[in-house]
Structure 1
Amino acid sequence: MKNRILVVDDEIDFLDSVRRGLITSGFKGIQTESDPRIAAAAVENGAVFDIALIDITMPGMDGVQLLEIFKKHQPQIECIMVTALDEARTAVNCLKIGAYDYLVKPVSKEDLISSIQRALERKRLLDILDLGKRKSTPELKNPSAFAPIVTRNEQMNRILKIAELHAASDAPILITGETGTGKELFSQAIHAASDRSGCQFTAINMDAITDSLFDAEFFGHTKGAYTGADKDRPGYLENTHKGTLFLDEIGNLMPTLQGKLLRVLQNGEFIKIGTNIPRKVDLRIIAATNKDLDRMMATGRFRKDLYYRLSGSWLHLPPLRERLEDVPLLINDFLKEFGRPDSDEIDPAAMDVLMAYDYPGNVRELKSIVRSAVNLAQGKPIQINCLPTHIRNRAVKSVHPLQDQPVPTLAELEKNHISAVYRMLDHNKAESARVLGIGINTLRRKLKAYGIK
């Protein structure tokens, strides 16, 4: 996701210099303006920026006036003031109005980049805190990056927004959740929403990394480093330079190797086998686990310092049983993937059974169930008998816990289910058909047949 940065200064040479410096440092969404009045009008008319770099002394409107306009119309903009005069009174005044930082020209590239990165991190954290206070979840700014994640659950939508906010940072991320909840899918979406999206995404199953393999796989080796090393071989770190490294099942990494990973996180460098020369690496690390790391730390199986490094940004994915409203959406998505795009391809009674199951294997298990059902249906609509026996049995016990009660017919179950969904969605036929997994014409016929109004 591009960070939107506005630079306002009447010195054209300074604007060009700052723009080049930001671009070479990886920033993309940069806009420059030499006339503060035009910048003020843009913000007043709704132009949105994350960071504003504002010169204080300008003709027509000084930087302090521009700061006041920015903070009035868009308080969320982090403003960094730049001036040729180091005046304490002006600096204090700007900070009182709401400026984030105050820099004195000439400003080194390192100081400027550091100030912008700190301001972006502050904005990201404030946006996350603000998200928790909102009654509704704001829309994603980069929906295409998160399109593979199918949901209508409010909690999941908030997690998606938080994930997008985290994507704007280079801080490590820890994703927790039960197996099959989509942790790798989330990591791929975060990578796609970040400024690293054009570079490598590398996923590694840490459960398969042994003590003898770690150095060779992560750090690589030089030619002649050991017998059989007939050429240089880059490791995961070198191959993923500028990209994102996804460490799946981080809780299974051997304690002896956790320290080596920690050093990479702390120093951003590694040493290839066969040399003593440290190499710098620039990458984003996302780790995931279904383990209880708090318990593992208490028993000494997971390093606390590594946990604190990884969990600065944290996402917890809820199990599918806590967002069952997503089941029909996911089923339709899987049906399309398996070549059955028509939502009429699943019988409503079979959908009822799938809605009554608790999915201990989460989304991954649901996908396997749908794949199996498609194969068994052999081109016909998926019926209850296409579903695994243990799911049918558990669903019947869930739907009919009191065996001495009259058992409704399938037609009665279908009528009640359609009626409940139709009412819940305020009689919206298109949305009801989508949730029920049937075509809208089929829904119209069933509403008429069952007398549902």
Structure 2
Amino acid sequence: MLSRILLVDDEKDFLDSLVRGLLISGFRHIRAEQDPNKALALVQQGEPVDIAILDITMPEMSGIDLLQKIKQISPSTECIMATAADEASVAVQCIKQGAFDYRVKPFNLEELLAVLFKAIERKNLLEIHRIGKQNRPPDLSNPEAFSRIATQSKQMFRLLKEAELHAASMVPILITGETGTGKELLAQAIHRASSRTRAPFVAVNMTALSPALFESEFYGHTKGAFTGAVQDRCGLLETASQGTLFLDEIGSLPLVLQGKLLRVLQEGEYFKIGTSRPRGADVRFIAATNAELFALQEQDLFRKDLFYRLCGAWLALPPLRGRKEDIPLLIQQFLDQYQGQHNHPTIEDSALDLLQRYDYPGNIRELKSIVQHAANLAKAAPISIHHLPVYVVDAVTRHRRTAPSTCSTDIAPLAEIEREHILRAFRATGGNKVQTARLLHIGLNTLRRKLQTYGE
């Protein structure tokens, strides 16, 4: 896990135990110090610290003094205080000085991890808010995890940075987007960027699940649990244990099964068919859909409580027509994949120009199919317009013939186009202002002002 953690405690045994526990839990960037002055010097020298876990009672410097100095130098560092004294006045003092939380020793690892992940999520949300105000694309801390996603779009870079930040926490993630936008590819990248990267990534298409076999598929069963159960079977939750379970097309899950999935998300446990003892569901849930979940909720086809459980973080993938600067990059990526088959295929400028004018209702998946089609026809020759599918060429040339003249006086004012775009996004999110602002990458106050102007 990429979060950088600083531990400060004068008790060596406690410190060593804490380091071991965090390493086992997947954290890799841990710095432990018994001397608070040395810890403070690290922060003063500019060493980045995401989370600091500080003992309050230390001989050289109190943890509260250290907390105050760290927050002055690095306000974004979230601090968790630890002490053997359970005193309300001390807890209040810590919170006033900017501590995220306060834990009384002795505490177990699970208790600490719960607080630690909340602190990481808070820091990530603040970082996402800061990224939204930047003019330049953010840098990824772990670019290798996202290397399979080809992009040069600022919008996509921001979304990938959000995905990377959420990967560090354990919250369920909902990925939305049209068919073919790369939802599973993004889910795989999040898995690789998380502490669960060495465990399985298990993908299941919810449309392929039979309602009658849902419990057997998800929970597994023991031999003899029912007629036909001739041997033990691992369910998806067990197969994905300590890893990621990707629920594709979650919007198609029948209502009767949504309650069963919700229980696993709420309780974190399930019963294997044929047993009476609950099992822990140690999986990270990532769900994806191309359906409008708000519309399904209005029709009572999707549970609101399940939506809010799945939507610990929401990543909305843009369609390819909304990131056309990526088309040349994606085409080259697909052509590179065919090198062994077609001897380094290339593409003529005229064909590339035409492909950049097409709108791709099937998104990246459709573009890949088009490039494969053209490469098969061109073989070793450069891909020309004549090698492209007829329906693509016809769609572009027909649009060119019917497109209004740039000299037309009927062009809508920019403010009207903006109004229509904002209201369309607002309705697509079911009137959720927070989600609309995130979808449009604008500030919430800006959105509220504009909606007020529009009478919404």
TM-score past 0.5 threshold: yes
Where do 1:221-260 residues align within 5 Å? 221-260=221-260
2:390 equivalent in structure 1: 389
Query: How big is each residue's C-alpha offset from its partner over 1:252-287, in whole Å with a ceiling of 9 and x where there is no partner?
Result: 111111111111111122222223332222001111
CA contact (8 A) 2:50 2:78 kept: yes
Deviation for aligned residue 1:367: 0.3
AA matched with 1:350: A
Whether 2:24 is the aligned partner of 1:16: answer: no
Partner of 2:362: 361
User: TM-score, structure 2 length as denominator?
Assistant: 0.84
CA contact (8 A) 2:201 2:243 kept: yes
Higher CA-based Rg: 1
Residue number in structure 2 paired with 1:47: 47
Partners of 1:223 and 1:87 in 2: CA distance: 53
Question: Match of 2:305?
Answer: 305
**Structure 1 residue 400 displacement after superposition:** 4.7
Evaluate the alpha carbon distance shift between residue 359 and residue 112 of structure 1 in structure 2; reply closer, same or farther with a 3 A threshold: same
Which residue does the alignment assign to 1:169? 169
Partner of 1:359, secondary structure, is coil
Q: Whole-Å Cα distance in 2 between the matches of residues 3 and 403 of structure 1?
A: 52
| Residue in 2 that maps onto 1:194 | 194
8 Å Cα contact 1:224-1:230 kept in structure 2: yes
Structure 1 counterpart of 2:75: 75
SS of 1:309's partner is: helix
CA contact (8 A) 1:224 1:231 kept: yes
Cα distance in 1 for partners of 2:213, 2:244 equals 21
Judged with a 3 Å threshold, the aligned counterparts in structure 2 of structure 1 residues 294 and 38 are, in CA distance, closer, same or farther, namely same
1:119 and 2:119 matched: yes
Normalised TM-score (structure 1): 0.84
Distance 1:372 1:151, change over 3 A: same
CA distance, structure 2, for counterparts of residue 85 and residue 277 of structure 1: 37
Match of 2:413 in 1: none
Matched position secondary structure for 1:308 = helix
| Structure 2 match to 1:446 | none
Partner SS state of residue 135, structure 1: coil
Q: What is the rounded CA distance, in whole Å, between the counterparts of 1:191 and 1:24 in structure 2?
A: 18
When structure 1 is superposed on structure 2, of 168-177 and 357-366 the one drifting more is: 168-177
Q: Secondary structure at the match of 2:339?
A: coil
Structure 1 position 168, deviation (Å): 1.0
Which piece of structure 1 moves more, 338-347 or 116-125?
338-347
Match of 1:185 in 2: 185
Paired letter, 2:331: I
- Is the counterpart of residue 130 in structure 1 residue 145 in structure 2? no
Residues 393 and 50 (structure 1), Cα distance of their counterparts in 2 relative to 1, 3 Å cut = same
Helix, strand or coil: the match of 2:286? strand
Q: Give the percent of matched residue pairs that are identical in Structure 1 and Structure 2.
A: 55
Please state if 1:219 is matched with 2:232. Answer: no
Instruction: Give the Cα–Cα distance (whole angstroms) in 2 for the partners of residues 297 and 354 of structure 1.
Output: 37
In structure 1, how many angstroms separate the alpha carbons of the residues matched to 2:265 and 2:104?
A: 32
What code does the residue aligned with 1:206 have? M
Task: Check if 1:271 corresponds to 2:251.
Answer: no
The equivalent residue for 2:349 is: 348
Between stretches 271-280 and 321-330, larger displacement belongs to 271-280
Unaligned runs of 5+ in 1: 406-453
1:159 aligns with 2:152: no
Q: Is the 8 A contact 2:338 2:345 kept in 1?
A: no
Asked if residue 318 in structure 1 is aligned to residue 318 in structure 2, the reply is: yes
Amino acid at match of 2:81: M
Aligned length: 405
Unpaired segments ≥5 residues, structure 2: 407-456
| Alpha-carbon distance, 1:25 to partner | 4.0
Aligned partner of 1:243: which letter?
G
Matched position secondary structure for 1:241: coil
Determine if contact 1:356/1:398 at 8 Å carries over to the other structure.
no
Deviation at 1:232, TM superposition (A): 0.7
State the AA in 2 paired with 1:3: S
Amino acid corresponding to residue 389 of structure 1 in structure 2? V
RMSD between aligned alpha carbons? 2.2
Hey, what's the Cα distance between the residues in 1 that align with 2:377 and 2:345?
Answer: 16
Q: What is the CA deviation profile of residues 381-414 of structure 1, one whole-angstrom value per residue up to 9, with x for unaligned ones?
A: 0011000111112222334547999xxxxxxxxx
What is residue 335 of structure 1 aligned with on the other side?
Answer: 335
* Separation in structure 2 between the aligned mates of residue 402 and residue 125 of structure 1, nearest angstrom: 43
Q: Deviations over 1:101-146 (max 9, x none)?
A: 2233334444433322222222222222222233333211111001
Q: Distance in 2 between matches of 1:376 and 1:328?
A: 19
Question: Is the 1:356–1:399 contact (alpha carbons within 8 Å) kept by the matching residues of 2?
Answer: no
Equivalent AA in structure 1 for residue 133 of structure 2? K
Secondary structure at the aligned position of 2:351 is classed as helix
Q: Which amino acid aligns with 1:213?
A: L
Matches within 5 A, 1:371-382: 371-382=372-383
**SS of equivalent to 1:345:** coil
User: 2:424 — aligned with what?
Assistant: none
